[in-house]
């Protein structure tokens, strides 16, 4: 029995926060199962990454060439899985692994499970948990088929940190490595233009109230947008939305231009994981609040003392005008 942990460092060899959290999970489970841990790295930054986590595992392997395409990532994962002979394969639930790992599991004759929220290796067997039916039902299960590949959600364990020394990394060459796609370059928005920040401590949610007619006519959608962006830039919080607010654009109503359906939290939206959440101008209806499943500390600002948040869905409800609250808050942060 052995565990392979897969990671994709950046070109400088840096590993993301999610990766370090998942590595900590792999190490903990390897200890619980009393089994060796092997780390498989993909991409040019493999050596620096391996050195930075040298005390995390007993063996290190890498596939050097990786351009981020599905075909090459899948070939790299498959080669590392086959070479390691591992029974269990752990990887952080990041975009490239979400695409490549299920395909690699298939090619290696194994099986993959996604959205894993808890893993334990007690009493010699591996058991995992994940949520079903839009985070309403939690299931715990195990599998007999091997290799069993798991995509781990963020936040299961605290990020790994350990000593860094130079380590030997065994290079692996994948088969069938040619991709028809060629990546010509990467264009990404500037840090401030990106409003979805999975690593932020705070989720700030805006609801449809921000664009509704207000008692003070100066409090319109334009001002709402300025207040929200100012807060996001200062606090570096992640931006969520209710469905009503992001749907408004299609009805021709005033919208917040930086908001899209990707920001939507809830039953038909995302279920982000953050330590704290602050909801503003959002009613707190069940289909929305179900997306707050993993937000530990919840606060809301609403004019209506009878809104959904008041019915046990928030720890603190400020019955107040969000325009006034955010103006004051922006002076403080």
Ligand X SMILES: Cc1cc2nc3c(=O)[nH]c(=O)nc-3n(C[C@H](O)[C@H](O)[C@H](O)COP(=O)(O)OP(=O)(O)OC[C@H]3O[C@@H](n4cnc5c(N)ncnc54)[C@H](O)[C@@H]3O)c2cc1C
How far apart are CB 195 and ligand X at their closest, in Å?
16
Of 105 and 227, CB closest to ligand X: 227
| Residue 220 beta carbon to ligand X: minimum distance, rounded to whole angstroms | 11
Residue number with CB closer to ligand X (25 or 271): 271
For residues 184, 190, 195 and 198, what is the CA-based torsion angle, rounded to 10 degrees? 70
Q: State in angstroms the smallest separation of the CB of 234 from ligand X.
A: 20
User: Cβ distance 214 to 251 under 8 Å?
Assistant: no
> Would you mind telling me the total number of residues written for the chain in this entry?
333
**Which lies closer to ligand X via its Cβ, residue 192 or residue 226?**
226
Distance of CA 26 to the CA centre of its chain: 17
CB 323 within 8 A of CB 224: yes
Kindly state the smallest distance separating residue 236's Cβ from ligand X, in Å: 23
Closer to ligand X by CB, 82 or 299: give it: 299
The DSSP code sequence of 33-75 is HT--EEEEEESTTHHHHHHHTGGG-SEEEEE----S-HHHHHH
DSSP 187-224: ----TTT----TT-SEEEEE-GGGGS--SSTT--HHHH
Measured CA to CA, the distance from residue 116 to residue 125 in angstroms comes to 16
Q: Closer to ligand X by CB, 101 or 265: give it.
A: 265
Question: Smallest distance, Å, CB 139 to ligand X?
Answer: 21
> CB of 269: closest distance to ligand X in angstroms?
4
Nearest CA to 310 out of 330, 284, 328 is that of 284
Instruction: Decide: helix, strand or coil at residue 243.
Output: helix
Nearest residue (CB) to ligand X, 25 versus 302: 302
Please identify, using beta-carbon distances, which residue of 161 and 304 lies nearer to ligand X: 304
The whole-angstrom separation of Cα 263 and Cα 208 is: 13
Residue 28, SS3? helix
In the complex, least distance from residue 286 CB atom to ligand X, rounded to whole angstroms: 7
**Which parts of this chain interact with ligand X (CB under 6 A)?**
207-209, 212, 214, 242-245, 264-269, 281-283, 285, 287-288, 291, 301-304, 307, 321-323
How many whole angstroms separate alpha carbon 118 and alpha carbon 250? Answer: 38
d(CA 284, CA 288): 6
Residue 44 or 269 with smaller CB distance to ligand X:
269
Closest distance to ligand X from the beta carbon of 284 (Å)? 7
């Amino acid at each position: 029995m052995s565990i392979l942990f897969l990671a994709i460092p950046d070109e400088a060899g840096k590993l993301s926060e999610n990766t370090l959290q998942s590595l900590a999970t792999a190490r903990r489970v390897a200890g619980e199962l009393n089994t060796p841990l092997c780390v498989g790295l993909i991409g040019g930054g493999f050596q620096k990454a391996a050195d930075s986590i040298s005390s995390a595992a007993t063996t290190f392997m890498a596939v050097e060439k990786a351009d981020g395409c599905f075909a090459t990532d899948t070939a790299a994962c498959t080669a590392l899985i086959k070479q390691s002979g591992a029974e269990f394969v752990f990887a952080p639930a990041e975009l490239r692994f979400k695409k490549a790992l299920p395909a690699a599991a298939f090619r290696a004759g194994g099986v993959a499970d996604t959205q894993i929220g808890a893993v334990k290796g007690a009493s010699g067997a591996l058991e995992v948990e994940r949520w079903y039916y839009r985070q309403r039902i939690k299931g715990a299960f195990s599998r007999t088929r091997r290799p069993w590949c798991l995509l781990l959600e963020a936040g299961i364990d605290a990020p790994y940190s350990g000593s860094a020394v130079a380590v030997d990394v065994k290079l692996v060459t994948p088969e069938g490595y040619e991709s028809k796609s060629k990546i010509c370059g990467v264009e990404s928005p500037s840090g401030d233009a990106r409003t979805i920040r999975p690593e932020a401590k705070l989720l700030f949610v805006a609801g449809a109230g921000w664009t509704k007619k207000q008692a003070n006519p100066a409090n319109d959608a334009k001002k709402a947008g300025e207040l929200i962006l100012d807060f996001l830039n200062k606090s570096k919080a992640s931006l969520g939305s209710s469905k009503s607010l992001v749907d408004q654009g299609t009805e021709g109503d005033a919208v917040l231009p930086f908001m899209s359906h990707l920001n939507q939290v809830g039953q038909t939206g995302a279920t982000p994981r953050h330590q704290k959440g602050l909801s503003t101008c959002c009613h707190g209806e069940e289909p929305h609040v179900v997306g707050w499943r993993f937000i530990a500390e919840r606060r809301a600002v609403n004019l209506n003392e009878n809104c959904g948040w008041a019915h046990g869905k928030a720890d603190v409800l400020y019955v107040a005008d969000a325009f006034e609250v955010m103006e004051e808050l922006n002076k403080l942060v």
